[in-house]
Amino acid sequence: MKTPQHPNSQFPELARLVTLIDGVYAVALTLLVLDLKLPQNTDLAAALRQMLPGFLVYLITFASIAGYWMIHHGTFRHIAHGDGRLVFLSLLNLLFVTLFPLSASIVGGHPLEPLATACLSANSLLYCTTSWATWSYAAANRHLLAQKADYRRLQQAERMMLLVAVGLALAIPLAFVNVYLTYAIWILYTPVVGLWLRARRRPSA
């Protein structure tokens, strides 16, 4: 994370940005659980059963945030310098990380309502779009990249974010056809895209 000072940049090093980002991801991952509260007006076994849909939403959201963090981690290390625009895009991206606990809470309370699932899909969609913008901006400004930056990795992260965004954009109207289609996209689509891109990358390496 230590980078040589870049004289023309206002944010010559990114260590603090990374600390803030990791802090927000850590808090968001941990706050998700605050939405899961045991119902009080019933016996424990029934209360636990009532919590199941919310718990499933919790698992989906945790997996999404954790997966997004993995992509961020694997990509951002190829960026060595910042400028105002990169920091702005990163903070805009963080906005949609902090919204996940709210979106998850809306879906957890109304797991079968298309409108509720649309909130979480839109949240993820906006996260992916701003991620894509961040990687595109960095890729187009090579003086921001690390000396040994793997340029293909940035392009791959861009492509990944676009593909996931397309899936999430489809999940919004599909929920009004059948809400389980949205769940299928959330649970299956993103890992499949990730694994497919990973498989494609290997031969060229």
Query: Which residues contribute to the site for a second copy (CB under 8 A)?
Result: 1, 5, 10-13, 15-20, 22-34, 36-38, 40, 44-45, 48, 59, 62, 66, 69-70, 73-74, 77, 84, 87-88, 91, 94-95, 97-99, 101-102, 105-106, 109-110, 113, 115-116, 119, 148, 198
Task: For the CB of residue 147, give the shortest distance to a second copy in the complex, in Å.
Answer: 11
For a second copy, the closer CB: 63 or 166: 63
For a second copy, the closer CB: 111 or 166: 111
- Reduce the DSSP state of residue 2 to 3 states and report it: coil
* 82 touches 9 (CB < 8 A): yes
Tell me the C-alpha to C-alpha distance, in Å, between residue 195 and each of 49, 75, 181, 192: 33, 16, 20, 5
Task: For the CB of residue 96, give the shortest distance to a second copy in the complex, in Å.
Answer: 11
Task: For the CB of residue 188, give the shortest distance to a second copy in the complex, in Å.
Answer: 17
Task: For the CB of residue 164, give the shortest distance to a second copy in the complex, in Å.
Answer: 17
For a second copy, the closer CB: 159 or 166: 159
Distance between CA atoms of residues 174 and 166, nearest Å: 12
For a second copy, the closer CB: 25 or 166: 25
For a second copy, the closer CB: 28 or 166: 28
Output the DSSP codes for 28-92.
HHHHGGGG----SSS-HHHHHHHHHHHHHHHHHHHHHHHHHHHHHHHHHTTB--B-HHHHHHHHH
Task: For the CB of residue 26, give the shortest distance to a second copy in the complex, in Å.
Answer: 3
Task: For the CB of residue 169, give the shortest distance to a second copy in the complex, in Å.
Answer: 19
State which amino acid sits at residue 200: R
Interior CA angle at 152 toward 159 and 87, to 5°?
70
For a second copy, the closer CB: 113 or 166: 113
Distance between CA atoms of residues 190 and 198, nearest Å: 12
